[in-house]
Amino acid sequence: MLLQVLGTAAGGGIPQWNCACPGCSGARAHPGRRRLHASLAVRADEGRWYLVNATPDLGDQIEDHPVLHPGPRPRQTPVAGVVLTDAELDHTLGIWRLREADRLEILATAPVRQAVDHRLRLGPVLTPYTTLTWRELRCPGTQPLLGDTGGPAGSGLLVSAVPVSGKRPRYAVDAPADDAWVVALRLYEPATGRTVLYAPAVAAWSDALHQAAAEADCVILDGTFWDEEEPRSAGISPRTATGMGHLPIDGPGGTARILATLPARCLYTHLNNTNPLVDPAAPQHKRLARLGLEVAEDGMVIEL
């Protein structure tokens, strides 16, 4: 299984355009600290990749990684489609950047499709430009990642949606409640038996999420905030990390203690600009390293 990390930042990226916090100021002074919005590219077949979430940085993310470049024909692209873990703007706005495609396949749970297609009017806006094909990301359920399963039985990646929370984006707070608003993706490769769990937004640690993490060879998890009080202490919100829909890394209710007990390779992604981990010299990196945990970096390749 081959994964390309396209970005590792939470909403707004690092630096965020209107923010002068230490994380953003440090990224402006040291361009190597810059992080694009969290996203992943997954190779589904030779020359065919799916983007996990489509961020506002999608154009740069494709250009930064030659495996996603078009060719050899003028409009031939290896980007086969997009898989959405939720309906948040920082995970969906990039879809509009793909309007030049001949056709575009999107995998999403029912409530996420309803929000993006109707509330954000993706379908009405893009239909004059390209052919949209929607596939429901069943939750729970397992299905081939490639929509056209032309290979032999048992070949190719399988994708499962693990329900994480019913947190709705602000533009859809009045939408019906549903546990499939936010999901983690379990990617399984039958040929190798390898499994990756990608969960960039985790509001609660459920039994289903724990089982999926315990069975994975690699876990890439929500690292938005270092501790529970970070949003308050940084002055960005009166709510706590959990109140904003993200379990913190450190502390009694943090995910670091859980991940440290797993046999999988575990990495954090979706870092907020207030998270001390955006500074490579922060002592928090050593604390994670002692637990055998990592921080994902833009551009890194994960091969299992």
Query: Is residue 304 included in any domain, yes or no?
Result: no
What's the mean pLDDT when you consider all of the chain?
95
d(CA 57, CA 68): 14
pTM above 0.85, yes or no: yes
Number of domains in the chain: 1
- Amino acid letter, residue 27: A
Query: Is residue 174 included in any domain, yes or no?
Result: yes
CA angle 279, 285, 287 (to 5 degrees): 145
Query: Is residue 41 included in any domain, yes or no?
Result: yes
* Structure tokens that stand for 228 in this block: 């529970």
Find residue 37's DSSP bridge partners.
9
User: Is residue 151's pLDDT more than 70?
Assistant: no
Supply the CATH number for residue 110's domain: 3.60.15.10
> Secondary structure of the chain: what % helix, strand, coil (to 5)?
25, 25, 50
pLDDT tens digits, residue range 216-233? Answer: 999 999 999 999 999 999
Q: Which residues contact 219 (CB under 8 A, 6 or more apart)?
A: 196, 197, 199, 213, 259, 262, 264, 265, 266, 267
pLDDT tens digits, residue range 89-137? Answer: 999 999 999 999 999 999 999 999 999 999 999 999 999 999 999 999 9
| Whether 304 contacts 192, CB under 8 Å | yes
* Chain centre distance of CA 164: 13
Query: Is residue 28 included in any domain, yes or no?
Result: yes
φ, ψ (nearest 5 deg) of residue 92: -130, -25
Query: Is residue 249 included in any domain, yes or no?
Result: yes
d(CA 74, CA 57): 23
Three-state DSSP at 268 gives strand
Domain containing 24: what range?
Answer: 2-147+154-299
User: Is residue 17's pLDDT more than 90?
Assistant: yes
Find residue 124's DSSP bridge partners.
none
DSSP 145-204: SSSS--S-TT-S-EEEEEEEE-PPPGGGTTSPP-TTSEEEEEEEETTTTEEEEEES--SS
| Whether 196 contacts 304, CB under 8 Å | yes
